[in-house]
Structure formats: structure tokens, C-alpha cells
Amino acid sequence: MIEGLAVLGAAMPDLSVFQYNAVDNIFSMTVATMGAAALFLFMSRSQVDAEYRPALMVSGLVVSIACYHYFMIRHSWNDAYTLAEGGAGYIGTGAAFNDFYRYADWILTVPLLMVELVAVLRLPAAKATSLLTRLVIAAAAMIALGYPGEVIADPSRWTERVIWGGLSSIPFFYILYVLWGELTKSLDSQPLAARKLIEICRLVLLITWAVYPIAYALGGTPEALTAKAGGAVGAGGVVGLQIGYAIADMTAKAGFGVLIYFIARAKSSGSGEAAVAAA
Amino acid sequence: MIEGLAVLGAAMPDLSVFQYNAVDNIFSMTVATMGAAALFLFMSRSQVDAEYRPALMVSGLVVSIACYHYFMIRHSWNDAYTLAEGGAGYIGTGAAFNDFYRYADWILTVPLLMVELVAVLRLPAAKATSLLTRLVIAAAAMIALGYPGEVIADPSRWTERVIWGGLSSIPFFYILYVLWGELTKSLDSQPLAARKLIEICRLVLLITWAVYPIAYALGGTPEALTAKAGGAVGAGGVVGLQIGYAIADMTAKAGFGVLIYFIARAKSSGSGEAAVAAA
């Protein structure tokens, strides 16, 4: 596995100036988006009823952690590349681009994403505890089982990668199944104003989460692994993967956090449409 | 487009020490202005009625995001230049000055500027939603259509640049038309103290927004593109453009945010002229 990682690190494909900057810029934009979302979520706690403030607090933590990691991911990207002689493009410096930042981010933020969702639904305490325990364990298992496969770069070990991916998919689908079910069940007990938002929430969850296994699968086809092992990783693939993950992370964390805020606001007594109607 | 970008990156004109520092200093001043405006807007929320606090919050986010981007723009400026041998002036290092920071900033902040304005007007909920949807879509279209033209540096593709600029102008004028109309229509329903401020707001909007298409047009005349393609970009043009954008951004974001604060305060029950009159 360690050798696999070394090969992966060295195999940074040559990029055009445009390709290098596209990834660099989307990382910077992700830092800005996550940072702004953190400010918004922390400061919006005063806009919702006291019982929804923990949900906003946790949402703010998720995007703060992501802001830090994207700042570091961008640094790692800058370190992995240098402008080629003459400025015609970017070539690898030999330093590895650190993919683990993203896993470190997921290890910390995915369980917190479960917490913020359960917190805003305001389920009965016993039910919330049991649900959260199951979701957090599943999230940890999903990430822990995905990582050994992600770092396999030897094409002859492709089936091993597929097995880790398959194992990781079990908790992945379990989480989506449980969350979809809980969100649907909760609809009846939620105020009217919150229902539409929870339906959107369910959809955002499904669409953004779908990006991760697709990216994992595309990055690990036998062809992709052979290309990586030969040091000939397709530049387009690397650029597409990084931009795809960044957009998915912005939607699944910052976008999701803003949705949590609107749900909390719709469910708060002293604010939102209820207050406007009363005025 | 990719080759065009590479040429654009390399074509940093030689600057005098004064010219380099003028741009560097205005960037630093913009960081300070945006940061101070963010502190002011966030902390002033307690000075206005609860229903106007989201408007100040969003105004604060706009200048926070701009603060981050100007910090990064300044870094990119520093990276793009180095003091020439003997210290007589500044010459390009070969690294591109990253124009995309400004577009990333606009992608995030222009929709939020629409939100802060609609939020402070306190239109009926259904009307606000329809208005915001149209404005945010138009803002996204405006920026997305402008960018492909902005990065064209090949003089033979000048007409293409004009076409992108023209397409981008359609949503641009639509936004200004809608905002001008809405601000004018809202005058009757606003308290007396807020009317004068909304009239100023309308004017600031028109004047600051006019800077952007003018800068776009001046930077893309056939002469300017020919100079760029030959690596002979006019130093004065680059310096003027950067200083112009920085001043326009300070006015359109920090200045506009402070106006939003005064409107919110004039419309708040427990503050402003109403409170003075009552005292």
C-alpha cells in the first residue's frame, strides 16, 4: 500500500496553464464559499429558536472544517506543481498531492452532517440517539473501508479496489436509505413551511452523495490504474475529478447547511413567514 | 481559449516602482475596507429591528468574501512581479496574475448583493421570491457569459469577444432595469426617512455598475488585444484597470453595504429619526 501511494504521488500529469488554474481557482472558491457559509451559520443562530441553534452550530463546524481542509488541499496542489520552463504549462515537482486531506475532512464532517440533520428534525430524544449512533458508526465504516481502495494504484490489484469500494458502499447505501426514510417519515410531523424544504433536502442529499461513488469508480477503472502506474494519468481525469469533488463538497456542505438554516427558520416560532403573517 | 490564457498570463508589462506599488497599495486598502465593513455590518445587526438583520448579515458576507479575494488578488499580484535588477522597476516573473479571483468573487457576491437589497426592501414574500429568482439567474448568466470573452486575448477573435460582451450585457441591463424599477416602485411604501436613502442607493447602483462594462470594453479594444498578443500590454492600462476595479468594488460592496445599514436603521422602529423625534 505504501508503494502504491508513492506511485500515485509521483504520477501528477503535465497540465496546461488553463487546467492547473481551473483546479487552483475552484479550490480557492471553495475556501471562500465554506468560510462565508461558516460565518453565516454561526451568526444566524440568533435568528432561530433556541432548540434549533445546535443544528446551526454543527452546520457551521462542518463548513469551518471544510474551509481549513480546502485551504490545505490548495497548498498541496501548489506544492505538487511548478510552472514549466517558458511558462507553457505546469509540471509535477515530485511532491505528492495529498489526497488524504479530503478523507480527513470526511472523517470529521460526515458524522457531523448526520448530527446537524437529526438535530434540525427534532426527533424524540431516545429515537434521535439511536438513529445518530447507527448513522455515525455507518459513516465511519464507509470512510474507513473506502480509503484502502482509494490508495490502490497497482492495476493488478484492481479487484481488491473493487472489493473495498463494494464494502464501503454497504454503509453508504445504508446511510442514504435510513436518511431518506427518516426524512420522509418526519414530513407529517413537520410544520407546513418546513415540508417543502425537507423534500429539497432529501433530493440534495441523494444527488450530491451520488457524486462520491461515481468519482471513486471512475478513478479506479483498470484503464485508469494502468495509466496511473505508468505515470501517464490523464490530465483531463485529474482536473475533472478535483473540480467534481469540490463542487460536490460545496453543495453537500455549504448548500446543505443553508438548507438546514431555512428549515430551522421555518420551524422557529418567532420568525419567518409566521411572523410576517402575524404582522 | 487555453493558448489565449497562457499568453495573457505571460504578458505582464514592465512597471515603474510607483505603478507597481500603486496597484499593490490599493489592493491592500481594499482588503482593509472590506474587512472593516464586514465587522461593521455584522456587529450593527443589533442596532436594527430583527427583520432587517438578515439584510445586514448578507451584506457582511459580501464584504467578507471580497476581503478574502482581494487578499488573494494581492498575493497573485506579488507573485506575478519581481523587482528588476538594480531596483529601477518591476518585471513579470512569468507567473500569471490571476484574473479569475475577481470572477470567483462576482459569482459568489453579485447574487448576494441582490439578496441584501431585496431583504432590506421587505417586499411581500411571494414577490420577493419571484424577484430574487429572476435576479439571481440573470446575475449568474451575466458573469458566465462575460468570462469567455474576458479571457480572449487573440486580436483576430475580437468580434467573438464583442459577442460574449454583448450577450453578457443583456442580463446586465435586465438586472439594472428590474432593480431601478423595483426601487422606484418601493418608494411609496417606504417610510419617509428611508426614501432619500433608497434614491441614493438607486444612483450608487447605476454608477458603480457602469464601471464594469466600461472596463471590459476598454480592456478588449482591438488595439488592447494586439498589444497583449505582442506581449506589449500598456502598463498604464493594467494599472488603471486594477485601480478602477478596486475602487468600483469598494463602492459597490462596502459603500452599498453601509447604505443598506442606513436604510435598515431608518426603517427600524426603535431607532433612527423616529426614535429621535420621539425623544
Residue B7, pLDDT score: 39
DSSP state of B253: I
Nearest to B65 among A36, A87, A276 (CB): A36
Q: Is the pLDDT of residue B155 over 60?
A: yes
**Average pLDDT, integer, range B56-72:** 97
Q: Is the pLDDT of residue B181 over 70?
A: yes
- CA angle B30-B35-B40, nearest 5°? 125
Q: Is the pLDDT of residue B79 over 60?
A: yes
**Average pLDDT, integer, range B186-209:** 86
Q: At A273, is the pLDDT very low, low, confident or very high (cuts 50, 70, 90)? A: very low
What average pLDDT does chain A have? 85
Q: Is the pLDDT of residue A8 over 60?
A: no
Q: How far is A181 from chain B (nearest CA, A)?
A: 30
Instruction: List the single range of A34-38, A115-119, B225-229 with lowest mean pLDDT.
Output: B225-229
Distance CA B214, CA B244 (A): 10
Scanning every residue of chain A, which has its alpha carbon at the shortest distance from the alpha carbon of B100?
A25
Q: Which residues of B72-98 are buried (b: 16+ CB within 10 A; e: fewer)?
A: bbbebbeebbeeeeeeebbbbebbbbb
Say yes or no for a CB contact (<8 Å) between B57 and A43.
yes
Q: At B233, is the pLDDT very low, low, confident or very high (cuts 50, 70, 90)? A: low
Instruction: Output the nine-digit C-alpha cell for B70.
Output: 482581494
Q: What is the pLDDT of residues B83-122, one digit of tens each?
A: 998 888 999 888 878 878 988 998 899 999 989 988 888 8
Instruction: Output the nine-digit C-alpha cell for A149.
Output: 481502495
Q: Which of A129-138, A181-190, B188-197 has the highest mean pLDDT?
A: A129-138
Say yes or no for a CB contact (<8 Å) between A47 and B53.
yes
Domain range summary for chain A, segments of one domain joined by +:
2-269
Nearest to A17 among B9, B57, B125 (CB): B9
Q: Is the pLDDT of residue B184 over 70?
A: yes
**Average pLDDT, integer, range B198-206:** 87
Say yes or no for a CB contact (<8 Å) between A33 and B108.
yes
Q: Which residues of A touch B44 (CB under 8 A)?
A: none
Give the Å distances, CA to CA, from B56 to B31, B114, B124. Answer: 19, 13, 19
Task: Starting at the earlier edge strand, list the strands of the sheet with A15-16.
Answer: A15-16, A89-92, A81-83
Nearest to B94 among A36, A87, A275 (CB): A87
Residue B31, pLDDT score: 98
Nearest to B105 by CA among A66, A39, A67, A32: A32
Q: Is the pLDDT of residue B279 over 50?
A: no
Q: Which of A25, A63, A200 to mutate to test the interface with B (most CBs of B within 10 A)?
A: A25
Instruction: Output the nine-digit C-alpha cell for B106.
Output: 462576482
Residue pairs between chains A and B whose CB atoms are closer than 8 Å: 69
**Average pLDDT, integer, range A188-202:** 86
Pairing of β A15-16 and β A89-92 = antiparallel
**Average pLDDT, integer, range B128-149:** 89
Q: Which residues of A touch B108 (CB under 8 A)?
A: 29, 32-33, 36
**Average pLDDT, integer, range B123-132:** 86
What pairs with residue B82 in β-bridges? B91
Identify whether the C-beta of residue B214 lies closer than 8 Å to the C-beta of residue B177. no
Residue B272, pLDDT score: 46
Q: Which residues of B touch A43 (CB under 8 A)?
A: 42, 45, 57, 60
Say yes or no for a CB contact (<8 Å) between B5 and A18.
yes
Specify the residue for cell string 482509494.
Answer: A150
Residue A219, pLDDT score: 72
Say yes or no for a CB contact (<8 Å) between A32 and B69.
yes
Complex-level ipTM: 0.82
Q: How far is B61 from chain A (nearest CA, A)?
A: 6
A225: number of Cβ within 10 Å: 23
CB-based contacts of B267, cutoff 8 Å, min separation 6:
B48, B49, B52, B120, B122, B190, B191, B193, B194
Q: Is the pLDDT of residue B221 over 80?
A: no
Q: How far is B213 from chain A (nearest CA, A)?
A: 23
Instruction: Output the nine-digit C-alpha cell for A273.
Output: 413567514
**Average pLDDT, integer, range B42-46:** 95
Identify whether the C-beta of residue A87 lies closer than 8 Å to the C-beta of residue B6. yes
Instruction: Output the nine-digit C-alpha cell for B18.
Output: 510607483
Q: At A207, is the pLDDT very low, low, confident or very high (cuts 50, 70, 90)? A: confident
Q: What is the pLDDT of residues B156-170, one digit of tens each?
A: 888 888 899 999 999
What average pLDDT does chain B have? 85
Q: Is the pLDDT of residue B237 over 90?
A: no
Pairing of β B89-92 and β B81-83 = antiparallel
Residue A151, pLDDT score: 81
Percent of chain B with pLDDT strictly greater than 70: 89
Say yes or no for a CB contact (<8 Å) between A25 and B101.
yes
Interface residues of A toward B, Cβ cutoff 8 Å, are: 16-19, 21, 24-25, 28-29, 31-33, 35-36, 39-40, 43-44, 46-47, 83, 87-89, 271, 273, 275-276
CA A150 to chain centre: 15
Nearest to A117 by CA among A55, A185, A43: A55
Distance CA A237, CA A157 (A): 20
Residue B3, pLDDT score: 40
A231 Rama class: left (phi>0) / alpha (psi -120 to 50) / beta: left
Q: Is the pLDDT of residue A11 over 70?
A: no
Residue B227, pLDDT score: 64
Q: At residue B68, what are phi and psi to the nearest 5 degrees?
A: -55, -50
* Top CATH class, A2-269: mainly alpha
Q: Is the pLDDT of residue A2 over 70?
A: no
Q: Is the pLDDT of residue B235 over 70?
A: yes
CB-based contacts of A240, cutoff 8 Å, min separation 6:
none
Scanning every residue of chain B, which has its alpha carbon at the shortest distance from the alpha carbon of A29?
B104
Q: At A272, is the pLDDT very low, low, confident or very high (cuts 50, 70, 90)? A: very low
Instruction: Output the nine-digit C-alpha cell for B78.
Output: 506579488
pTM: 0.85
Give the Å distances, CA to CA, from B238 to A27, A66, B68, B183. Answer: 26, 35, 22, 35
Residue B190, pLDDT score: 82
Scanning every residue of chain A, which has its alpha carbon at the shortest distance from the alpha carbon of B53?
A47
CA B266 to chain centre: 25
Residue A229, pLDDT score: 62
Q: At A227, is the pLDDT very low, low, confident or very high (cuts 50, 70, 90)? A: low
Instruction: Output the nine-digit C-alpha cell for A81.
Output: 506543481
CB-based contacts of B84, cutoff 8 Å, min separation 6:
B14, B90, B91
Q: Which residues of A touch B57 (CB under 8 A)?
A: 40, 43-44
Say yes or no for a CB contact (<8 Å) between B68 and A31.
yes
Q: At residue A152, what are phi and psi to the nearest 5 degrees?
A: -75, 120
Interface residues of B toward A, Cβ cutoff 8 Å, are: 1-2, 5-6, 9-10, 42, 45, 50-51, 53-54, 57, 60-61, 64-65, 68-69, 72, 94-96, 98, 100-101, 104-105, 107-108, 125
**Average pLDDT, integer, range A23-49:** 95
Task: Please indicate whether residue A175 or residue B124 has the higher confidence score (pLDDT).
Answer: A175
Nearest to A32 among B51, B57, B104 (CB): B104
Q: Is the pLDDT of residue B34 over 80?
A: yes
